[in-house]
Structure 1
Amino acid sequence: MKRYSLWITLVFTFIVLFAAGGLLYYDALLSPVAEDRQPPVIIEIPGNSTSRTVAEMLEKKGLIKSAWAFCLYSRYKGWDGKIQAGEYQLSAAMSTPEILGAITRGSQVFYSFTVPEGYTVEQIAQLLQDKGLVNKEEFLRLCREGIDRHYPFLKNHPGTNYLLEGYLFPDTYKITKQSTEKDIIYMMLERFNAELEKLNFAQKAEKLNLSVHQAVTIAAMIEKEAIFDKERPIISGVIQNRLKKGMPLQIDATVLYALGEHREVVLYKDLEVESAYNTYRVAALPPGPIACPGSASLKAAVEPEKNSYLYYVAKPDGTHAFSRTLAEHNRNIAKYQ
């Protein structure tokens, strides 16, 4: 009987030791491949990947010790089917649980881009294509035709080159490699909408007898004309004054937009270009914005300074000389240009 009890004890002890050893071995398989700090590796997980295919890829890349241990741990945590597609920055110094946590939380690699104030949609499209983030032609097609999401400020306006011109808010954005052209546009439109709400833009435009589209059109011209924020409300006031008098706005930036190219100097022959955007020939607002304005220009468009100026000319330092009469304006031209 004693011998029987001894055998049971020995067998039990062996099972415990075997189980403990197995657990230690399993824990070892879950531990990082490398103990010291390792440079990160960018791994792309395709859509609809299973834990098995991901495990095999990670093992082949030397990021985990065991595909089997990876799958077992994933099943134990209930993470099978929760792995998210995308790009991830992983390291051989990360444990299997850490790697699984990252790819199931969707902690993807983000790419940032900054759209400067005053960029046109064509410049934005080129910027994003140069960074490898969009197909330029597809981006421009969406900007021209619009998107399948409703925004109160987006309506069809006859004669505009791009429906979304002026409405992609200049800012810094972070996206993943999975982001599409449409995703990026949605992001920028949402940011624009938030800015309009913050400025109480629509209500202020209405008090000036302007539609949102007209006010954004004015904001875009202010953006292209002003370098310094303090001058934006003054220029806005000049635009309002000229509109009330039925005078052509005579803004060079609208001519350049009509020409479809940037030039350092606008020539007299350029002013003859046949276009509804040419504010030298048309005594009215252009059909739509000529660029994407930032917050300061949007604010200035609906909060113009009350003044009696009708003209302004650029000085060498980037500021402007404002005048009330053509004679005074001509003297400023002679002085500063």
Structure 2
Amino acid sequence: MIVFAALAAGGAAAWWLQAPLSLAADSIEVSIEPGTSPREVANLWAQAGVRSNTFLLYEWFRWSGQARKIRAGSYQIGQGATPRSLLDKMVRGDEVLATVRLIDGWTFRQFRAELAKAPDLKQTTAAMTEADLMAAIGAPPGQRAEGRFFPDTYAFSKGASDVAVLKRAHRAMQRQLEAAWAERAPNTPLKSLDDALTLASIVEKETGAAAERGLVAGVFVNRLRIGMPLQTDPTIIYGLGETFDGNLRKRDLLADGPYNTYLRAGLPPTPISMPGKASLLAAVRPDATKALYFVAKGNGASHFSDNLADHNRAVNQYQR
């Protein structure tokens, strides 16, 4: 009789492990923090809406031998999930991921604002200064934040901290920058990775048509070679910061400052945006051109000129 009882119990257990769990909703989600015990994990699922016996769930976790392999993270199950598939999901770390998209050409201020809006990110940097934030992600001492985060779509576990995403974006930009620098033209006037990043950030803001990115970079590189001011509006706008009201005035162009590339030759002291991969590559390997000027044509493209007389004619044609 004892043998038959054991066989019956074993059969019932095998059936239970494969039977769909009773759920209070079509899908149920649970976030497991690091250090949560297997018993607490079972309780979390029960509180979230798994109607199966909490004690049985815990005993299954323990009896399986995999209770200590359950990973922290956010997990979601739907109708049809079984006790076995639930445990497998947590042991594999098959999490529900959220995403945040950071756009090419955004400033660091825009990056921070977008991260602050992400509902599934744990906000830990809102009160940090830029210097504190850069220290928190392990950036080199004194490194400014602008331009140092690669624009991309980042997936993360729900409940992850904004610092974790910023660390990934920071590492990604460093990798992309180093890869681009390795492909630089041998005659580039750029002297460092920082120069390349700064020029790429300007190219990113000045390019209306993606196909012209290399030509835009070529104009700026030509100007750098001969010591001619870059004369690019986006640097002026960046220098104005939050005071910029959407209208760039003559007085803004005449007001001296570190980002006034009309009055100062060379690159500004920092990047002015977060450039994407295409702008990084354009900055270090620009298109071969003799052009020193370009003007927007009003359709997203630009007209490029080799001399000031041609440029003035183009300005009259397209903008006056």
Instruction: Give the TM-score taking structure 2 as reference length.
Output: 0.88
- The answer for unaligned runs of 5 or more in structure 1 is 1-13, 158-162
Aligned length: 314
CA distance in 1, matches of 2:135, 2:172: 17
**Once the 2 structures are TM-superposed, how far is the Cα of residue 108 of structure 1 from its aligned partner?**
1.6
CA distance in 1, matches of 2:232, 2:173: 25
Q: Are positions 1:100 and 2:82 aligned together?
A: no
The 3-state SS of whatever aligns with 1:81 is: helix
Single out whichever of 136-145 and 244-253 deviates more from structure 2: 136-145
Structure 2 vs 1, CA of residues 155 and 216 (structure 1 numbering), >3 Å: closer, same or farther?
farther
Residue from 325, 328, 336 that aligns with 2:307: 325
Q: Are positions 1:311 and 2:293 aligned together?
A: yes
Residue from 2, 23, 29 that aligns with 2:10: 23
Structure 2 vs 1, CA of residues 205 and 40 (structure 1 numbering), >3 Å: closer, same or farther?
farther
Conserved? CA contact 2:22–2:51, under 8 Å: no
Deviations 1:175-233 (A, max 9, x none): 1124223211221123223323443x146267424211011111110000012222111
CA distance in 1, matches of 2:53, 2:134: 50
Single out whichever of 23-32 and 278-287 deviates more from structure 2: 23-32
**Once the 2 structures are TM-superposed, how far is the Cα of residue 32 of structure 1 from its aligned partner?**
2.0
Q: Are positions 1:68 and 2:55 aligned together?
A: yes
Q: Are positions 1:235 and 2:223 aligned together?
A: no
Structure 2 vs 1, CA of residues 291 and 104 (structure 1 numbering), >3 Å: closer, same or farther?
same
Structure 2 vs 1, CA of residues 65 and 44 (structure 1 numbering), >3 Å: closer, same or farther?
same
Task: Note the aligned Cα RMSD (angstroms).
Answer: 2.6
Residue 109 of structure 2 corresponds to 122
CA distance in 1, matches of 2:305, 2:155: 44
Q: Are positions 1:244 and 2:231 aligned together?
A: no
Q: Are positions 1:53 and 2:33 aligned together?
A: no
The 3-state SS of whatever aligns with 1:322 is: strand
The 3-state SS of whatever aligns with 2:299 is: coil
Deviations 1:40-85 (A, max 9, x none): 1121223321111221232343425222222222222222222222
**Once the 2 structures are TM-superposed, how far is the Cα of residue 142 of structure 1 from its aligned partner?**
5.5
Conserved? CA contact 2:197–2:280, under 8 Å: yes
Conserved? CA contact 2:30–2:44, under 8 Å: no
Q: Percent identity?
A: 32
CA distance in 2, matches of 1:118, 1:191: 16
CA distance in 2, matches of 1:196, 1:329: 33
Conserved? CA contact 2:294–2:304, under 8 Å: yes
Residue 289 of structure 1 corresponds to 271
Residue 149 of structure 2 corresponds to 168
Structure 2 vs 1, CA of residues 277 and 206 (structure 1 numbering), >3 Å: closer, same or farther?
farther
Deviations 1:140-180 (A, max 9, x none): 63686445646xxx6746xxxxx131121111110112422
Q: Which amino acid aligns with 1:212?
A: L
Q: Are positions 1:211 and 2:179 aligned together?
A: no
Residue from 184, 190, 207 that aligns with 1:226: 207
Structure 2 vs 1, CA of residues 307 and 300 (structure 1 numbering), >3 Å: closer, same or farther?
same
Q: Which amino acid aligns with 1:244?
A: R
In the TM superposition, what are the counterparts of 1:71-150 in structure 2 within 5 Å? 71-132=58-119, 133=121, 134-135=123-124, 137=126, 141=130, 145-147=134-136, 149=138
Conserved? CA contact 2:31–2:75, under 8 Å: yes
Deviations 1:273-330 (A, max 9, x none): 4420121221121001100111111111011223222111101101111112222222
Instruction: Give the TM-score taking structure 1 as reference length.
Output: 0.84
Structure 2 vs 1, CA of residues 141 and 196 (structure 1 numbering), >3 Å: closer, same or farther?
closer
